[in-house]
Amino acid sequence: MLQDLALQPLDDIKIIDVSSFLAGPFCSTQLAEFGAEVWKVELPEIGDALRRFGTITKNGDSLPWLSECRNKKSITLDMRTAEGARLMKQLVAKADVFVENFQPGTLEKWGLGWDTLKEINPRLIMVRISGYGQTGPYRDRPGFGRIANAFGGLSFLAGFPDRPPVTPGSATIPDYMAGLYGALGTLLALQARHRTGRGQMIDIGLYEPIFRILDEIAPAYAYKGLVRQRMGPGTVNVVPHSHYPTRDGRWIAIACTNDKIYARLAVAMGQPELAQPESWGTLANRERDREQVDRHVGEWTSKHDRAELLRICEENQVPCGPIYSIDEIFEDLQYQARGNILKMQDERVGELPIPNLVPRLSDTPGSVKWLGPKLGEHNDEVFKGLLGLTDDDLRRLAAEGVI
């Protein structure tokens, strides 16, 4: 079937994004990539904090802003003012989704809480992302990604057992995960609205997606009292399943998730006898001798360059992969073939490579139309075209600091 580039899955959906920094913005960005019209609401003259986070470009906006707020329309509005709240309510009446990530109670203080907005628009879907969610004894605590990694249980597992916990890859993982679940919740709520005609509220604590992805850690603790500890690059329940050094000073990841795959690795190492039941052919024996098994594999990998190891493992159907730095990702043929890095042209920064869309749809694949917009770039389009305000109205509102 041919791709219908004109049709997008969400091209009839209008979203108000009043969130800041990353979790909420990432939620609405994913929806914008597949056709939703997103009105990104920012404070007049100040803008979203994400504009000033990370590497700042020559035009004053950051690379995270340009990349993660793609496809959005920027309008300025101070919802803290009576006039700003009034205009927001007019926008809500015309919207399908409202995304926010303030501390609980903030919007209620401005007269824009869920109870108010659902009366204005019963079909509205509201995504609320906060540090600990809208309920519970911690609901009023501020939260950021680093705190969510810690509270959600991931930081405790990151690092080596004899050293302090480390940042698990990135402090922003919870923000991206919460944004992902926010987008999923929006799609589920849209499907439910299709049947019921009613919107609903989606409530996500920043730590909750982290806790959700920790495989068997919760049932294992309840079932047998196991408190999993840091294991460095190792993996609970399976071995060898770790990172190993190469002769040319690089690293390779090898994953033997069962006895059959380990037998292939033993053949690749030229020692098929290691896969015999009396040796390390059973997971129980490998778990028993975990340190010896990992050391033995590491000694083998250290005798070969990374490219050679990848060839040997591939020939023997042993799951393996290079541990890449970002410069190697840019050079990799698989990334190039899949178009994982999208090169965008922008008058402000020239060519800017950014991560491409996920997921990949065969018929309505989505697109990136533009990078993060200029502050207030779409004020006229939204306030005049959608709400019917005049030029005089806009001049007055700007003078009063409302827009």
Does CATH place domain 14-212+338-399 in 3.40.50.300?
Answer: no
> 52-64 in b/e burial notation, b at 16+ Cβ within 10 A?
ebeeebeeebbbb
Q: Which residues form the catalytic set?
A: 175
Alpha carbon distance 339, 361 (integer Å): 14
251-215-288 Cα angle (round to 5): 65
Q: Where in the chain is the domain with CATH 3.40.50.10540?
A: 14-212+338-399
Q: How many CA atoms lie within 13 A of 137 on its CB side?
A: 0
Return the pLDDT at 5: 57
Return the pLDDT at 1: 39
CATH class of the structural domain 241-245+251-322? alpha beta
Return the pLDDT at 46: 94
Return the pLDDT at 346: 94
Q: In the chain, which stretches have pLDDT less than 50? A: 1-2
Q: Which residues pair with 354 in a beta bridge?
A: 342
Q: Which of 123, 133, 115 is nearest to 97 (CA)?
A: 123
* Contact of 23 with 174, CB cutoff 8 Å: yes
Q: Where in the chain is the domain with CATH 3.30.1540.10?
A: 241-245+251-322
Q: What would the two tokens of residue 287 be? A: 């778990």
Return the pLDDT at 3: 53
